[in-house]
Amino acid sequence: MKCLGCSLANKIAPVNLVFENNFVCCILDHDPFNEGHVMILPKEHFEDVDELDANTANAIIQAARLLSKAIKVLYKPDGITICQNGGIFSELTHFHMHVVPRYKHQSFADFYSDKSLNNEIIKNKLLYTRDEIVEAIKKII
Q: Tell me the pLDDT tens digit for each residue of 32-74.
A: 999 999 999 999 999 999 999 999 999 999 999 999 999 999 9
pTM of the predicted protein model: 0.94
- The domain that contains 32 carries what CATH number? 3.30.428.10
Q: Considering the domain boundaries, does residue 126 fall inside one?
A: no
What is d(CA 118, CA 78) in angstroms, rounded to the nearest whole number? 20
Q: Is residue 74 part of a domain?
A: yes
Query: Residue range 14-25: average pLDDT?
Result: 98
C-alpha–C-alpha distance, residues 5 and 44, integer Å: 10
The answer to whether residue 82 sits within a structural domain is yes
Asked if residues 103 and 78 have their Cβ atoms less than 8 Å apart, the reply is yes
Residue 130 within any structural domain of the chain: no
Judge whether 128 lies within some domain.
no
At residue 137, φ and ψ (nearest 5 deg) are: -65, -40
Average pLDDT on 10-17 reads: 97
Q: Is 140 within the bounds of a domain?
A: no
Distance CA(71)–CA(136), nearest Å, equals 8
Domain count, the chain: 1
User: Model confidence over 85-125: pLDDT tens digits?
Assistant: 988 888 888 999 999 999 998 888 777 777 888 899 999 99
In a domain, 125, yes or no: no
Residue 58 lies in a domain: yes
**What angle, 0 to 180 degrees and rounded to 10, lies between the N-to-C axes of helices 54-75 and 126-140?**
110
Name the residue range of residue 76's domain. Answer: 4-111
